[in-house]
């Protein structure tokens, strides 16, 4: 059985298509994400942002697949999660990330409504749970 219903996946997918019809969608999203806190900005100093944004877009597809129980996608997200934990990313940073993403969807999807917001949150929740769990696993305070 799928983790997310067909109807939710379809709502998410249609909204995603409307959002990415705006070529600047990911730039606007990360501008919002950076505006969340100076700490977020400092993570990205000296990084190749256009390359990262292209990969984030691909990773959203993986999260979508993982939400539908793809073990291939889940393994890829687990590896992305360990990579981020190694950078020192904390669970709260993912809350900033999700909040920036949902605001950007609201601004860019002309059909945005509560169902659309719920579909994004639901589809992303499995992937975000994996990302957050990896931070906690690698937290030094847990082993002391
Ligand atoms: C579910 C949410 C997220 C997804 C899907 C995601 C996805 C990605 C991907 C695909 C990359 C490129 C990895 C590579 O070069 O192989 C990346 C890089 C990066 N991400 Fe995330 N990310 C997320 C959340 C975050 C958060 C919350 C932070 C915290 C500030 C963050 C910080 C970074 C940094 C600093 C890099 C660049 C690392 C480097 O090139 O050395 N990400 N992210």
Per-residue pLDDT reduced to its tens digit, 91-133: 999 999 999 999 999 999 999 999 999 999 999 998 999 999 9
Q: What distance in Å separates the CA atoms of residue 105 and residue 98, rounded to the nearest whole number?
A: 10
Q: What distance in Å separates the CA atoms of residue 7 and residue 30, rounded to the nearest whole number?
A: 28
In a domain, 32, yes or no: yes
Q: What distance in Å separates the CA atoms of residue 134 and residue 138, rounded to the nearest whole number?
A: 6
In a domain, 75, yes or no: yes
* Residue 38: both structure tokens together: 């100076």
| Cβ–ligand 1 contact at 43 (below 6 Å) | yes
* Residue from 50, 80, 120 whose mutation best tests the ligand 1 pocket (most atoms within 8 A of CB): 80
Domain that holds residue 108: 6-138
Distances (CA, A) of 128 to 63, 108, 133: 8, 22, 8
In a domain, 144, yes or no: no
In a domain, 1, yes or no: no
- CATH number of the CATH domain containing 67: 1.10.490.10
In a domain, 56, yes or no: yes
In a domain, 104, yes or no: yes
Phi, psi of 68 (to 5 degrees): -105, 20
In a domain, 127, yes or no: yes
In this prediction, residue 37 carries a pLDDT of 94
In a domain, 81, yes or no: yes
pTM of the model: 0.93
Percent of the chain having pLDDT more than 90?
Answer: 81
Cβ atoms within 10 Å, residue 117: 16
* Interval between CA 52 and ligand 1 midpoint (Å): 7
* Residue from 52, 83, 120, 134 whose mutation best tests the ligand 1 pocket (most atoms within 8 A of CB): 52
Q: What distance in Å separates the CA atoms of residue 60 and residue 18, rounded to the nearest whole number?
A: 15
pLDDT tens for 72-83 read: 999 999 999 999
142 pLDDT more than 60: no
Total domains, the chain: 1
């Amino acid at each position: 059985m799928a983790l997310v219903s067909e109807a939710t996946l379809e709502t998410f997918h249609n909204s995603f298509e409307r959002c990415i019809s705006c070529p600047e969608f990911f730039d606007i999203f990360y501008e919002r994400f950076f505006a969340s806190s100076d700490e977020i900005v400092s993570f990205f100093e000296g990084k190749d942002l256009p390359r990262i944004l292209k990969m984030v877009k691909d990773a959203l597809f993986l999260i979508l697949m993982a939400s539908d129980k793809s073990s291939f996608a889940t393994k890829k997200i687990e590896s992305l999660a360990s990579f981020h934990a190694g950078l020192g990313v904390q669970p709260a940073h993912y809350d900033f990330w999700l909040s920036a993403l949902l605001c950007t969807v609201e601004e860019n999807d002309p059909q945005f409504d509560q169902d659309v917001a719920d579909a994004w949150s639901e589809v992303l929740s499995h992937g975000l749970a994996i990302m957050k769990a990896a931070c906690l696993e690698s937290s030094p305070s847990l082993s002391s």
